[in-house]
Amino acid sequence: YNDRVLCDVVPMEASHILLGRPWQYNTKAIHDGFTNKISIKQNDQKIVLKPSSPREVCENQIK
């Protein structure tokens, strides 16, 4: 069996590991799988976390 896989590889930080399922359940986060955004409520204010673009990730890694 042979197959080809095309992957994008980006650097990771600790936040990728920390924002896992326990964090999602504890904060009652809502994940939009289409836009890949996470919504949470804190102090009755809606906060939307959006993913960084590959360019933003590279720029942050250089800093």
Give the per-residue pLDDT at 18.
57
Residues 52/60, Cβ–Cβ less than 8 Å:
yes
Residues 61/11, Cβ–Cβ less than 8 Å:
yes
Q: What share of the chain is helix, strand, coil (3-state, %, to 5)?
A: 35, 20, 45
Give the per-residue pLDDT at 27.
82
Positions of E strands within 1-63: 30-32, 37-42, 45-49
User: Is the full-model pTM beyond 0.95?
Assistant: no
Give the per-residue pLDDT at 12.
63
| pLDDT, one tens digit for every residue, the chain (63 residues) | 566 767 666 666 655 555 667 777 888 888 898 988 889 888 899 999 888 888 888 888 887
